[in-house]
Amino acid sequence: MLGVIDLPTYLAGLVLIVLLPGPNSLYVLSVAARKGVRTGYTAAAGVWCGDTVLMTLSAAGVASLLQANAVLFGIVKYAGAGYLTWLAVGMLRAAWGMWRTRHERAEESEATAAPAAEERPYRRALVISLFNPKAILFFVAFFVQFVDPGYAYPALSFVVLGAFAQLASFLYLTALIFGGTKLAAAFRRRKRLSAGATTAAGALFLGFAVKLTLASA
């Protein structure tokens, strides 16, 4: 079908890959839990746009350029790791504030949380997606296995594979968004739970940053 081979195997592998936790899905879940469904989808839109850009760059051969140019790969890698670290520090600082004020009244907690309204979830999710050179290499390495080398229009095959990937991402992030809003009520009632979850998210983002720093082309 349009140069795509072994579609059932591709779809099975895609489901497993999408279900693996990563900084994108974790950020969308965090935003949805804190600010609701609409803002959660705003963050998800950033992820989908970022993934679309990476898939396009992969099909255009940027993956090969990053793989061949160690300096360029290193620049993108460390920039991405630095951004993830910055997000992690922000989460950990917010969690520390929650731990310190968890016995105060709910009104005071909401007042201290007011600056978070300035967060731009679409932009943050987009940057998290784009500053991941391993994702570009992954899209090429994974997609190319299911493209018929004899097909006259391989770019069209990449489009088909990318469309399935985006559909899987849409369904998964939608589940996270609605699940996150259900958790939000419990987080608001239990400040210790909210602080613990924010601490865990910050620690995971630090882990993602370290993993990206250690990655090789």
Pair 91, 9: CB distance under 8 Å: no
CA torsion angle 188 106 86 55 (round to 10): 30
Phi, psi of 147 (to 5 degrees): -110, 125
pLDDT of residue 181 exceeding 50: yes
Interatomic CA distance for residues 10 and 30, integer angstroms = 29
Interatomic CA distance for residues 52 and 35, integer angstroms = 25
Interatomic CA distance for residues 110 and 52, integer angstroms = 36
pLDDT tens digit sequence for 82-93:
766 877 787 777
Average pLDDT over residues 135-154: 72
pLDDT of residue 19 exceeding 90: no
CA torsion angle 35 41 44 48 (round to 10): -160
pLDDT tens digit sequence for 113-141:
444 446 789 999 998 888 876 677 677 66
Interatomic CA distance for residues 32 and 113, integer angstroms = 15
Interatomic CA distance for residues 25 and 44, integer angstroms = 8
pTM, to two decimals: 0.66
Average pLDDT over the chain reads: 75
Residue 18: band (very low, low, confident or very high) from pLDDT cuts 50, 70, 90: confident
Q: Find the distance separating the first CA and the last CA of the chain, reported in whole Å.
A: 31
Query: What pLDDT does residue 48 have?
Result: 93
Interatomic CA distance for residues 11 and 17, integer angstroms = 10
Average pLDDT over residues 31-58: 88
